[in-house]
Amino acid sequence: MKTPYAFTLLLALLVSLPTLALAQHDHGAMAVTGSLKGLHEITQTNIMKTAEMLDEKVYAYRPTDDVRTTGQILAHIANAQYFFCSSAADEENPNKENFEEAATTKAAIVAALKGAFEYCGGVYTNMSDAAGAETKPFFGNEMAKSAILAFNSAHNYEHYGNLVTYMRLNGIVPPSSM
């Protein structure tokens, strides 16, 4: 009686091993780029919440004449999404507008950000760790494509930091502190 049970259990285990190995391989193939996507989604959430919650008055705000307005920073982030993500994907930049000049209202900037984050989301989703390890020239250096995606999130956080300061100066609690 124990022999057929043990044999059945062994047979079931042997049959499932290729599936388990494939599942581990697929998860491993996206460990780095999947993590980068998660980081990007955090920056996207904070930036989109910021863009949606602020009014036109705050969009026009700048603490000094030497810096961008809130709206210009948000538009710059939209431009940068296309730049970084198309570079990482080895694609021509699909954005043909300079949103800092073309998107001058809250509605236009929010729409630009949504489109830019949607485009980047596809790049992050489709980038495997193997493809992310490929290098290419970027800002005068050989850089892994996954590092370009990491640079994108660092850039998002850089400008989100500017936005947090602008919000605090206007008595607004930033989304990441809510």
Predicted pLDDT of residue 30: 80
User: Euclidean distance between the first and final Cα of the chain, in Å?
Assistant: 62
**Residue 10 pLDDT class (50, 70, 90 cuts):** very low
Answer whether residue 73 is part of any domain: yes
- Run of H or E including 138: strand 135-138
- Residue 34: give its domain's CATH number: 1.20.120.450
Q: Please check whether residue 23 lies inside any domain of the structure.
A: no
Residue 90, domain extent? 30-177
Mean pLDDT over 134-142 rounds to 95
The Cα–Cα gap between 143 and 78 comes to 22
Q: How far apart are CA 18 and CA 75, in angstroms?
A: 48
Q: How far apart are CA 166 and CA 64, in angstroms?
A: 11
pLDDT digits (tens, 9 = 90+) for 84-131: 999 999 999 999 999 999 888 999 999 999 999 999 999 999 999 999
The crossing angle, in degrees rounded to 10, of helices 31-53 and 70-88 is 160
Residue 20 included in any domain: no
Give the pair of three-digit tokens for residue 100. 């800092």
**Domain-embedded: residue 5:** no
Are 89 and 127 in contact, with CB atoms under 8 Å apart? yes
What's the structural domain count of the chain?
1
The average pLDDT across 154-177 equals 96
Q: Could you give the 3-state DSSP secondary structure of residue 136?
A: strand
pLDDT at 5 over 90: no
pLDDT, averaged across the chain: 87
Model confidence at 132: pLDDT above 60: yes
- The CA distance from 35 to 37, in Å, is 5
In-domain check, residue 161? yes
Query: pTM to 2 decimals?
Result: 0.83
Q: Residue 23 pLDDT > 70, yes or no?
A: no
- CA 78, CA 114: separation in Å to the nearest integer? 8
pLDDT digits (tens, 9 = 90+) for 95-107: 999 999 988 899 9
Let me know if residue 4 belongs to a domain: no
Q: What is the pLDDT of residues 36-49, one digit of tens each?
A: 999 999 999 999 99
Q: Is residue 91 part of a domain?
A: yes
User: Does residue 104 lie within any of the structural domains?
Assistant: yes
Tokens 């982030």 — which residue? Answer: 77
